[in-house]
Each structure stands twice: as structure tokens, then as C-alpha cells.
Amino acid sequence: MPLTLEGKRPRALVTGAAKRLGAAFALDLARRGWDLWLHYHTSEEDARALAAKIGDLGRRARLVQADLSLSGGVEALAERLEESPPLLIVHSASVWNQDTLVDAAAETWESSHRLHVWTAVVLARALARWSAEGRGEGHLVTLLDSRLRDQDPQHFSYAFAKRELAQLTRYLAAELAPGVRVNGLAPGLILKAGLASTPLARNGRPADLVRALRYLTDNRFVTGQILAVDGGRHPKGDLFGSL
């Protein structure tokens, strides 16, 4: 069971924890002995149901609501976390905006970058400070996209925000070591049903991402890595070079 330097059970924050991959991450962390901060935006009922499941496992789950796409949203979240700072942050909150180069609006571009990129900056700074205070080694895991290397013309704002988040992930790993590790997960078709287009001829499942997160959290000699969990799709496109 993981412990902090103070010998206490550790805490983790999962952003976007109420549904889908975020909920799968949170539930598995609870099974492995972590107490949880569950961030949600509008899905309060789902977040409360997840907290109840975590409570049944004998772990503590605290809810925290924040709109991370708004100015000041992540700062308010970080302030709330001061009550009981987490050592692990899984930044899985995301919005898959549909827009193109032609019709993208400044508001969509800015809100997507606040949600995906600026949120990671603020939370990484908080982790670095908590680590420097002697609470233990911090670890930030960002959720990216296996199509980082390819063109995605139908999700212009989202795609560029995720690419910037990938670059930020590697920068933060170098900047914040040794007190904080920073890694990324780049999923492919995980939740989408239908015909698989991966070399492995199947789509993934949330359990595949959960196992990847376990690897990153358990192996303390890994930082600065972006782990593609996509059935081998990522080498098929390389428009933006190696990310």
C-alpha cells in the first residue's frame, strides 16, 4: 500500500472523475489504497455515486466542483486542495470540441487551452510546492491523445491544446525533477464503439488505460514519458514529428 513520507495513506486528485475514464482511474486508485479528491464540473450525481463506491472500499472520497475552462477555475480548485494536498494528480478532464481552422472561435480556443494546458501548469506548481514542503514525491499524469502526431481538422482547438499539453508534460518532467514526476497517457479508441482501425484490429477498454496508469504510478524511475495506449495506431500518422 502506498504511503507518504509521514506514513499516512496517500491522496490522489482525478480531474473529470465523475464519468468514463476518470471514474475508472479513481475507482482503481481507491482499490489500491488511495484516498481521493474527485473533481467534477456538472456531473454531481455521478460524482456522488462514485464517492459512495469508494467509501464502500474503505477509502475516503472528497468532492470538489470547478469549471476548469473558466479563468480562475483551476486556481479555486488548487486552493481547495490545500485542506488535504494530494501527491498524485491524474488530469483527465477534457472537452472534445468540434471546430475547424475556418470556424474556430477565440472563446473555444481559450477555454480548451485553459482546461487542458493551464490547469496542468497550476496543478504542477502546487505539486512542486507540496513536495518541497516534505509531504512526499509528487506525480502528475496528463491524459493526452494518440493522434498527437496526426492531423485532426475537425477538432482544431482540442487537438492543438492536447499537443501543447504533450510538450508541457515533457517540460514539466525536466523542470520539476526530482521532487515531482510527470508522465502522460495517450489513449486511442477506448470508449468509442464500432469497427476498430488499429493495427491490433480492436478498440481498447478503460481497463487498458487503468493498467497503464498503474505502471506509471508504480514505477518511480519513469518520468517524462508519453505512453501510447492505442493498439498501435500512433505510428500511422506523423505530421507533427515525434511527440
For residue range 127-146, what is the model confidence (pLDDT) as tens digits?
Answer: 999 999 988 999 999 999 87
- For the chain, how many structural domains are there in total? 1
Instruction: For residue 3, tell me if it sits in a domain.
Output: no
The closest alpha carbon to 126, from 69, 170, 88, belongs to 88
Instruction: For residue 5, tell me if it sits in a domain.
Output: no
Which of the 8 DSSP states describes residue 234? G
Give the pLDDT score at 19.
93
113 and 161 Cβ atoms separated by less than 8 Å: yes
At 35 the three-state DSSP class reads strand
Instruction: For residue 242, tell me if it sits in a domain.
Output: no
Instruction: For residue 1, tell me if it sits in a domain.
Output: no
CATH classification at residue 106 = 3.40.50.720
Give the pLDDT score at 107.
86
Determine which helix (DSSP H) or strand (DSSP E) holds 165, and give its type and residue range: helix 156-176
Whole-model pTM: value is 0.90
pLDDT by position in tens, the chain (length 243):
444 445 567 999 999 999 999 999 999 999 999 999 999 999 999 999 999 999 999 999 999 999 999 999 999 999 999 999 999 999 999 987 877 767 767 788 898 999 999 999 999 999 999 999 988 999 999 999 877 666 776 777 788 899 999 999 999 999 999 999 999 998 887 766 555 566 776 777 889 999 999 999 999 999 999 998 876 666 665 555 555
Instruction: For residue 73, tell me if it sits in a domain.
Output: yes
Q: d(Cα 74, Cα 60) in Å, to the nearest integer?
A: 22
Give the pLDDT score at 2.
46
3-state secondary structure 172-229: HHHHHCCCEEEEEEEECCCCCCCCCCCCCCCCCCHHHHHHHHHHHHHCCCCCCCEEEE
Give the pLDDT score at 163.
93
Domain that holds residue 21: 11-236
Instruction: For residue 241, tell me if it sits in a domain.
Output: no
For residue range 160-210, what is the model confidence (pLDDT) as tens digits?
Answer: 899 999 999 999 999 999 999 999 998 887 766 555 566 776 777 889 999
